[in-house]
Structure 1
């Protein structure tokens, strides 16, 4: 039989501290009172306070600085990616892809290596070979775009792509299903044009083509 989960004292203490931070009792960058003071205020032991602080530090709200104390680094707990993406509408999704992939294409044109060009060409060929099945086509498309972002040599952009785009696989499949078409010659040609711009080191064209492709998808929806 399932049981109702009771919060531990540390979880309750973390919730009380978070409530005080949300109410701006402590502003961003403020130093919290010492453990002894907080323990008295919350009616718990110092070990419970330490555990509560560790919990909020792990969630990005607090930061412990050796020899200095505990400081407020955020005024609330950030939503996790999955929750953010579930809330996002199609326009927001495409805008985010424009930002990541557009800039990735521009940087790839400046920084790509011969090995990365070969990888992009293989991915483009695979994308061409997977035009008949919607899910396989989306997967091949993601591989192609990831090759481009990887060639940007920007670890943050690649990290955003790896964190963001694979989680949107189902949403992208739904988008194309709503659109009613995928894998056309014109669509494949646009991707080939992006690669051509990267090969000839035309970052401006690579970025513009990448963004225009995604924006046309949004407009069609």
Structure 2
């Protein structure tokens, strides 16, 4: 029997269950033993087992099915999203932007409304004034790109973008401090072409403009 001596007990029980899943004791999709079996194995009460299971369910490792039991949903707990983003370098952030924004631009061209288009145009005008410095320009640029993603009307794409906006902001500030030429008339014109493609409902051109712009940023890291 494994004894748990430290507190909180539920955290320790969750760690032990996760270790057993990682070791291959239970395979993907397999049903876990019941609380009456797990409790004595872990040296805790059934309520602690229930809390440990709730923790692992919240981390995406286990899934409780009403009237059926608890099943293995993943073989490890995914790393915290914020921790991943804090560790990511600028190139990785830009690659993530390419994946999200090129698809969002294509969808925006197909789905944008007149209201969306007005928001995009306002944001485009807003990013044209960088007199207040790099950080203000980055914020205006982020608002423009977010307006394109919002026009795609896909809440998952928007949530992904919003999730890494803090790391994105940091990355772009660092980028422009290294390569200030990325902001200027030519850069504004490229963004205008993206807005025009969305306005024209040209999905292919919108995706292409988005991808080309971000690939250019990535090349600037070299």
Relative to 1, partners in 2 of residues 1:193 and 1:178: Cα closer, same or farther, differing over 3 Å? same
Q: After the TM superposition, which segments of 4 or more aligned residues of structure 1 sit over 4 Å from their partners? A: none
- 1:22-61, CA deviations, whole angstroms, 9 ceiling, x for partnerless residues? 1111111110000000012112111111111111111111
Q: SS state of the match for residue 70, structure 1? A: strand
Query: Residues 34-53 of structure 1: matches in 2 within 5 Å?
Result: 34-53=34-53
Distance in 2 of aligned mates of 1:31 and 1:216: 49
C-alpha RMSD over aligned residues: 1.3
Within-5 A mapping of 1:95-134: 95-134=95-134
Query: Residues 188-208 of structure 1, C-alpha deviation per residue, up to 9 Å, x if partnerless?
Result: 000000001111111101111
Query: In the alignment, is the contact (CA less than 8 A) between 2:57 and 2:63 conserved in 1?
Result: yes
SS of the equivalent of 1:201 reads coil
Q: Contact conserved, 1:131 with 1:182, CA < 8 A, in 2?
A: no
Residue correspondence of structure 1 range 115-154 to structure 2 within 5 A: 115-154=115-154
The question of whether the paired residues in 1 share the 8 Å contact of 2:86 and 2:167 is answered with no
Q: 1-side partners of 2:172 and 2:89: how far apart?
A: 12
**SS where residue 63 of structure 2 aligns?**
strand
Question: Deviation per CA, 1:158-181, whole angstroms, max 9, x where unpaired?
Answer: 111111223321121112212233
SS of the equivalent of 2:79 reads coil
Q: Quick one: distance in 1 between partners of 2:88 and 2:7? A: 31
After TM superposition, the structure 1 stretch with the greater mean CA deviation from structure 2, 6-15 or 191-200, is 6-15
2:204 is aligned with 1:204: yes
1:86 positional shift? 2.0
Give the equivalent residue in structure 2 for 1:217.
Answer: 217
Is 1:150–1:158's contact at 8 Å kept on the other side of the alignment?
yes
CA distance in 2, matches of 1:142, 1:55: 35
Q: What SS does structure 1 have at the residue aligned with 2:71?
A: strand
Aligned residues: 216
Are the counterparts in 2 of residues 131 and 183 from structure 1 also a CA contact under 8 Å? no
Give the distance between the partners of 1:174 and 1:158, measured in 2 at CA. 23
CA separation in 1, counterparts of 2:208 and 2:165?
A: 20
Paired residues of 2:176 and 2:183 also in contact (CA < 8 A): no
Describe how 1:1-221 pairs up with structure 2 within 5 A.
7-221=7-221
The separation in 2 between residues aligned to 1:12 and 1:42, in whole angstroms, is: 9
Unmatched 5+ residue regions in structure 2? Answer: 1-5
2-structure distance, mates of 1:148, 1:176 = 22
